[in-house]
Amino acid sequence: MASRNVVNNMKGLVQFISDLRNSRDSGYEEKRINAELANIRSKFKDSSLNGYQKKKYVCKLLYIYTLGYPIDFGHFEAVQLLGSQKYSEKQIGYLFISLILNEKDDLTNLVINSIKKDLQSHLEVYNCLALHCVANIGSAEMAAALSEVVQQLLNSHVTKPYVRKKAALALLRLYNKDSAIFKPEMTHRICTILQDEDLGVVTAGCSLIATMAESNSAAFAEAYNPAVKILYDLIVNGDCPQEYIYYNLPSPWLSVKLLQLLQILPAPDDPALNNKLSETLRYVFSNYTIMCSNVQQSNAQNAVVFEAVNLVIHMNSDPSLLHKCYQTLGNSLTAPLINFQYVSLEAMAYLAASVENTYEIRKHMPTILNSLHNRDVSIRRKALDLIYLLCDKSTVSPVVTELFKLLSTADLSLKEELSVKIAVLAEKSATEAKWYISTMMRLVYLANEQAPEEVWVRVVQIVTNNENIQVPAAQDALSYLQHSVCPSTLAKLCACILGEFGHLISSDPNTSAAVQLDAMESHITSCPSTVKAIFLSAYLKFCSVFPDLKPRILPIFQRYSTAANAELQQRAYEYLMLASNPDTTLLDTVCEELPLYDERESALFNRVGHSDDTISRSKMIERRNSYMPVSNGKASNPFRTNGVDTVGSSMNSAAPSSRHSVTRTETSIPAGSSTNADALYDLLISSTNDGVLYEDNTLKISVRSKFMPPHGALILTFLNKTAGALSNFKSTIDPYSSTHLKTIISRDTGGTIYGNDTAQQTITTEAADIFWDSPKVSITYSAGTPRTHNIRLPIVLTKFMVPLPILAKDFGYRWGQLREVNLERRSTIKYGTGVIGLEIEYVNDIVKGFGWGICNREEHAETTEWLCSGVLKLCLRQDALILELQYWLHDI
Amino acid sequence: MALQFILIQNRQGKTRLARFFSAYTKQEESGIKSEIHRIVSTRDGRHQSNFADFRGKKIVYRRYAGLYFCVCVDNYDNELVYLEAIHNFVEILDDYFDNVCELDLVFNFYKVYAVLDELFIAGEIEETSKANTLARVQRLDMLE
Question: What is the rounded average pLDDT of the residues A727-743?
Answer: 76
Query: What gap in Å lies between CA A797 and CA A770, rounded to an integer?
Result: 7
Alpha-helical (H) ranges within A112-223 are 112-120, 124-137, 140-155, 161-177, 187-191, 199-215
Shortest CA gap A340–chain B (Å): 9
A429 within 8 A of A396, measured Cβ to Cβ: yes
Mean pLDDT, chain A, whole residue set: 82
Residue A688 has pLDDT above 70, yes or no: yes
Pairing between β-strand A863-873 and β-strand B3-10 as defined by DSSP bridges = unpaired
Residue A797's pLDDT band (boundaries 50, 70, 90)?
A: confident
Q: Which residues are CB-neighbours of A145 under 8 A, at least 6 positions away? A: A112, A116
Shortest CA gap A589–chain B (Å): 46
Tell me which of A339 and A483 has the higher pLDDT.
A339
* H helix or E strand, kind and range, residue A217: none
End-to-end CA gap in chain B: 34
pLDDT digits (tens, 9 = 90+) for B91-104: 999 999 999 999 99
For residue B5, give the chain A residue with the closest CA. A136
Of B87, B109, B128, the CB nearest to A251: B128
Residue A173's pLDDT band (boundaries 50, 70, 90)?
A: very high
A59: annotated binding-site residue?
Answer: yes
A63: annotated binding-site residue?
Answer: no
The amino acid present at A763, given as its one-letter code, is I
Residue A464 has pLDDT above 80, yes or no: yes
What is the per-residue pLDDT for A782? Answer: 83
Query: What gap in Å lies between CA A236 and CA A278, rounded to an integer?
Result: 11
Q: Are B110 and A253 in contact (CB < 8 Å)?
A: no
Angle ∠(B61,B67,B70) on CA atoms, nearest 5 = 25
Q: Are B56 and A162 in contact (CB < 8 Å)?
A: no
Q: What is the DSSP string of A544-579?
A: HH-GGGHHHHHHHHHHHTT-SSHHHHHHHHHHHHHH
Tally of domains in chain B: 1
Report yes or no: B25 at the A interface, CB cutoff 8 Å.
Answer: yes
Which residue range(s) make up the domain with B39?
5-143
Shortest CA gap B69–chain A (Å): 16
The amino acid present at A90, given as its one-letter code, is K
What is the per-residue pLDDT for A677? Answer: 65
What is the per-residue pLDDT for A309? Answer: 95
Report yes or no: B34 at the A interface, CB cutoff 8 Å.
Answer: no
Residue A660 has pLDDT above 90, yes or no: no
Q: Which residues are CB-neighbours of A95 under 8 A, at least 6 positions away? A: A62, B110, B113, B114
Instruction: Specify which of A630-634, A714-718, B32-36 reaches the highest per-range mean pLDDT.
Output: B32-36
Interface test with B, best of A244, A253, A734, A788 (most B CBs within 10 A): A253
At residue B129, the 3 state secondary structure works out as coil
Task: Say which range, A104-113, A194-203, A808-817, has the weakest mean pLDDT.
Answer: A808-817
Q: Are A2 and B28 in contact (CB < 8 Å)?
A: no
A795-822 CB burial, b ≥16 within 10 A, e <16: bbbebbbebbebeeeebeeebeeeeeee
Q: What is the pTM of this model?
A: 0.69
CATH number, position B34: 3.30.450.60
Alpha-helical (H) ranges within chain B are 26-41, 79-96, 102-107, 109-119, 130-142
Q: Are B103 and A1 in contact (CB < 8 Å)?
A: yes
Shortest CA gap A457–chain B (Å): 25
Interface test with A, best of B10, B39, B125, B138 (most A CBs within 10 A): B125
Report the candidate in A10, A16, A14 with the shortest Cα–Cα distance to residue A1: A14
Question: What is the rounded average pLDDT of the residues A78-103?
Answer: 93
A52: annotated binding-site residue?
Answer: yes
Question: What is the rounded average pLDDT of the residues A326-338?
Answer: 90
At residue A315, the 3 state secondary structure works out as helix
Task: Say which range, A580-584, A669-673, A697-701, has the weakest mean pLDDT.
Answer: A669-673
Mean pLDDT, chain B, whole residue set: 94
Residue A862 has pLDDT above 70, yes or no: yes
Residue A320 has pLDDT above 90, yes or no: yes
Shortest CA gap B81–chain A (Å): 5
Q: Which residues are CB-neighbours of A123 under 8 A, at least 6 positions away? A: none
Strand partners of residue A758: A719
Question: What is the rounded average pLDDT of the residues A17-24?
Answer: 89
Q: Are B122 and A169 in contact (CB < 8 Å)?
A: yes
Residue A683 has pLDDT above 80, yes or no: no
The domain defined by A660-795 folds into: Immunoglobulin-like (2.60.40)
A701 within 8 A of A692, measured Cβ to Cβ: yes
Of B14, B51, B132, the CB nearest to A200: B132
Report yes or no: B81 at the A interface, CB cutoff 8 Å.
Answer: yes
Residue A627 has pLDDT above 80, yes or no: no
Percent of chain A with pLDDT over 70: 87
Q: Which residues are CB-neighbours of A758 under 8 A, at least 6 positions away? A: A667, A717, A718, A719, A720
Q: Are B80 and A303 in contact (CB < 8 Å)?
A: yes
Question: What is the rounded average pLDDT of the residues A477-483?
Answer: 90
Tell me which of B46 and A228 has the higher pLDDT.
A228
Query: What gap in Å lies between CA A818 and CA A835, rounded to an integer?
Result: 34
Q: Chain A to chain B, count of Cβ pairs less than 8 Å apart?
A: 212
Question: What is the rounded average pLDDT of the residues A513-531?
Answer: 88
Interface test with A, best of B20, B75, B111, B129 (most A CBs within 10 A): B129
A776: annotated binding-site residue?
Answer: no
Pairing between β-strand A758-767 and β-strand A801-803 as defined by DSSP bridges = unpaired
Residue A616 has pLDDT above 60, yes or no: no
Question: What is the rounded average pLDDT of the residues A347-366?
Answer: 89
For residue B98, give the chain A residue with the closest CA. A5
Supply φ then ψ for residue A668, to 5 degrees.
Answer: -80, 105
Q: Kindly list the residues from chain B whose CB atom is less than 8 angstroms away from the CB atom of residue A739.
A: 28, 55
Report yes or no: B98 at the A interface, CB cutoff 8 Å.
Answer: yes
A257: annotated binding-site residue?
Answer: no
The amino acid present at A846, given as its one-letter code, is I
Quick one: chain B helix, strand, coil %, rounded to 5? 45, 25, 30
Report yes or no: B38 at the A interface, CB cutoff 8 Å.
Answer: no
pLDDT digits (tens, 9 = 90+) for A573-597: 999 988 888 888 888 888 877 777 7
Q: What is the DSSP string of A351-402?
A: HHHH-S--HHHHTTHHHHHHHTT-S-HHHHHHHHHHHHHH--TTTHHHHHHH
What is the per-residue pLDDT for A881? Answer: 86
Q: State how far Cα A740 lies from the chain centre.
A: 12
* H helix or E strand, kind and range, residue A684: helix A677-686
Instruction: Look up residue A884 and give its DSSP letter.
Output: E
